[in-house]
Chain A
Amino acid sequence: MTRKILLVDDSPVARKILRKCIPEDGCFEIFEASDGLDGLKKFEEINPDITFMDLTMPVMDGMEALGEIKKRNKDALVIIQTADTQIKSVFMAMELGAFMVLKKPISKDSIKAVLKEADGALQTER
């Protein structure tokens, strides 16, 4: 079964890196958005299984977008990606219902592990 993944990051490079880290085994269909507002729009359009969300973005930041997504679908699986792992931000993201906070820089291994964990959560949900 193909899972839909939405990547929300204002940096094209960050999206490219993430794309490269997601296994190309046909299990994932990838969509991209370049800021929080665009991310929210795409989220409504495609209803992704997993959303990767950057925190600092123009127009609408990741924290706000996370809140909005959760308002629309409280079960949405959103993974926050950030290098800034200050307690205050991490706590806020978890409070808003993030599935996890993933520390940048990412690697193929860390993304593989995260996707496995997300998959597990999606299975039990169904």
Chain B
Amino acid sequence: MDEYYAQIFHTIDVGLVMLDKDLRVQQWSRWMEQHSSIPFHKIIGRPLFDFFPELDHPRFLMNFKMVVKFGNSCFLSQKLNKYLFPFKPAGAFAGEFEYMQQSCAMFPLRDEKNALKYICISVNDVTETVACETRLVEMNVRDGLTGIYNRKFLEAKLTEELDRSKRYGRAFSVIMIDIDHFKKVNDSYGHSFGDTVLKSTASMLQSGLRTTDFLTRYGGEEFCCLLPETECSSAVIVAERMRANAEALALTHGGNPVNISISLGVAGATAADTPSALIVRADEALYTAKKSGRNKVVASQGRAA
């Protein structure tokens, strides 16, 4: 039977490594050879860390100890670890990742007396699954037209960021943005041009943001921007810059320039704010901006700290 097991060990589409308790490699499957480019004869009997120094970190060791001490299996998920062995990704989705995404497990192998003899690590290539999952998640949280986040994402993110700001006593601001006279633009130049305006505005707004900020399409021609770690006064500066950039957008329709402008309402979170209360205050500020002539930034005079 042993010879069959060996064939399975080397043929199965899963990387398999056997280590002794001193972390020396005792078995190295063909899959591992292929993906690591380290041949069997070079690594056998050698310390794993000689070849993969990056594995010598607390998380790996904690799991290893868990297996050795308790004889337990450990599961190293891709979501938490991304990968264990830094291998080049292969296949159709290779371009999207620097390293092959892996879902790994670590488990004990016992001798006939049930004493723990080896520690086995299995490595599954889940790059393709992760790529598909990422796309699916993206599709679910992105607005189809503009490519920025959608309202559903906003609602989840707003609650999360507001909670975080309260927990750590950090500043948090939101900006509500509306394109002025958008209906008129649509009526005069057609819906297709209206879409162009939306797309251009979204990418203009996005270009001025940090990676930690979130720009979302709130509805129709309305956008909402979440600014973590940002005081209301700083958010007003960001909003003012957005307003100026919108004015400067060089849009043309049939060779003729079309000017647009945006109105913005800013609100800084307070300890008393619920997610909806915060949005309402920003929306009220936006309404004031609209009322007082548009192409303006108004900050909520509410209970902003």
A–B contact, 8 Å CB criterion (strictly below): no
Contacts from B to A (Cβ < 8 Å): none
